[in-house]
Amino acid sequence: MLRDRAKGIDNVTDAMWEQVCEHNREMVQEYLDSNKHLSKQSIKQYTSALRIFFYYICTHLKNKPLYEVKKRDFIKYFSWLQEYNLSSSSLKFKKSSVSSLCNFIENIIAEDEEDYKNFRNFTTAIKDIPSNKVYSKVPITEVEYNILIEELLKRKNYLACAWVATSWNVGSRRNETVQFKAEIPDYNIKEGKNYVDSHIVYAKGRSGGKPVNYMINKEALKYMKLWIEKRGYNHEYIFTTKYKGEINVASEGWSDDLCKNILSKILDRRINVHLFKSSCITNLLEKGVDIKTVSKYVAQHESTETTAIYDLRDDTEAKDNIF
């Protein structure tokens, strides 16, 4: 089902976090410290979700300590979250973050803390979370990709051009894309091939992420090289920005802004960073590449079932031919 766009929940600042009772802050910190195997990005996401939950407890439930939180409290919290029209995936993550903390309390803390002797995971009060989405996912077609490249070249926005070419052709997520080093365009393309294998980058996963290497085709290599030639400075990584003389790897905010304020306006429809991996996969499947090949070498998935989630092909014709 479609939903209205999310209003967005403000991040809990350090000053706001200081208002949360000390016991709850200590429990969160102990839990996070026990999960050092998670990637930095995962730790960041868990931290944000848990801060939102406990700040709600602070402002709506008299800042009660975690061991006094009950199922009815979590139901109230979830009702509050739903007022923001969050996506089902966002709701599920916020629930799983608190649930994971509760499991940690039950399995590790309860045996040593009298206050937690009878503690139970109160997130079980929320069962199924219906899937929803704010808009229908429509892949970026090859025609649209060419429109983006042509317009970005006209604007001499070579960084954006390289990012679009890489994301659409390679299928890497943005946190993987920014790991690509400036040495890649200098790799030798083997005879009879039209791509190079990247160095190892780290995808989503435990213990710092899953090591993978992507196939970088000639199209992406061309625009990577163009950007490196035009940027006017040397840096280890390809996707970097320069502000007030300081050079940094392109941030999530930069890619979000690119999609929202540049790419969306060029194509006159909503584009976000997550659409590029799906578009890459869909484009290859439409060209007849076997899904097992796409899954293993492009999507970097362990199962074709996962890759199928990214398949945005229109199956209307196949549906019409059933009978």
pLDDT in tens, 32-82: 999 877 777 788 889 999 999 999 999 999 999 999 999 999 999 999 998
- Residue 115's H or E segment, with its range, is none
Task: Give the pLDDT band of residue 301 (cuts 50, 70, 90).
Answer: confident
> What is the 8-class DSSP label of residue 201?
E
Q: What is the mean predicted confidence (pLDDT) over 202-223? A: 86
Question: What pLDDT score was predicted for residue 3?
Answer: 42
Q: What is the mean predicted confidence (pLDDT) over 179-195? A: 94
Asked which of 4-18, 138-152, 273-287 is least confident by mean pLDDT, the reply is 4-18
Instruction: Judge: domain 14-125, CATH 1.10.150.
Output: yes
Q: Count Cβ atoms below 10 Å from residue 206 Cβ, excluding itself.
A: 11
C-alpha to C-alpha distance for 63 and 72, rounded to whole angstroms: 15
Average pLDDT, the chain: 90
Closest CA to 113 of 18, 20, 19, 27: 27
Q: Are 195 and 217 in contact (CB under 8 A)?
A: yes
The three-state secondary structure class of 261 is helix
> What is the distance, to the nearest Å, from the Cα of residue 289 to the centroid of all Cα atoms in its chain?
26
pLDDT for 100-120, tens place per residue? 999 999 999 998 999 999 999
C-alpha to C-alpha distance for 49 and 39, rounded to whole angstroms: 16
Closest CA to 238 of 164, 159, 175: 159
Closest CA to 126 of 86, 157, 98: 98
> What is the 8-class DSSP label of residue 84?
T
E strands present in 208-301 = 210-212, 215-217, 240-243, 246-249
Domain spanning 142-319: CATH superfamily: Intergrase catalytic core (1.10.443.10)
pLDDT beyond 90 at 221: yes
**Please, what's the b/e burial string for 61-93 (b: 16 or more CB within 10 A of its CB; e: otherwise)?**
eebeebbebeeebbebbbeebeeeebeeebbeb
Q: Are 238 and 182 in contact (CB under 8 A)?
A: yes
Question: What pLDDT score was predicted for residue 271?
Answer: 94
Asked which of 87-91, 151-155, 203-207 is least confident by mean pLDDT, the reply is 203-207
C-alpha to C-alpha distance for 95 and 122, rounded to whole angstroms: 10
Asked which of 80-94, 126-140, 162-176, 228-242 is least confident by mean pLDDT, the reply is 126-140
Residue position matching structure tokens 């989630």: 309
Give CA separation, 107 vs 116, 123, 224, 260, in Å: 11, 15, 49, 43
C-alpha to C-alpha distance for 293 and 284, rounded to whole angstroms: 10
Residue position matching structure tokens 């300081």: 246
% of the chain with per-residue pLDDT over 90: 72
Task: Give the pLDDT band of residue 7 (cuts 50, 70, 90).
Answer: low
pTM, 2 dp: 0.66
Closest CA to 50 of 14, 94, 91: 94
Q: What is the mean predicted confidence (pLDDT) over 253-266? A: 95
Q: Where are the domains of the chain?
A: 14-125, 142-319
Question: What pLDDT score was predicted for residue 8?
Answer: 65
Question: What pLDDT score was predicted for residue 313?
Answer: 83
Question: What pLDDT score was predicted for residue 303?
Answer: 86
Closest CA to 217 of 202, 195, 192, 186: 195
Higher pLDDT pick, 194 / 209: 194
pLDDT beyond 80 at 208: no
Asked which of 7-21, 33-47, 166-180 is least confident by mean pLDDT, the reply is 33-47
Asked which of 103-112, 120-129, 298-307 is least confident by mean pLDDT, the reply is 298-307
Closest CA to 80 of 91, 96, 64, 92: 91
Question: What pLDDT score was predicted for residue 315?
Answer: 63
pLDDT beyond 70 at 5: no
Helix and strand element counts for the chain (H, E): 15, 6
Q: Judge residue 40's burial from the number of C-beta atoms within 10 Å of its C-beta, 0-12 exposed, 13-18 middle, 19 or more buried.
A: exposed
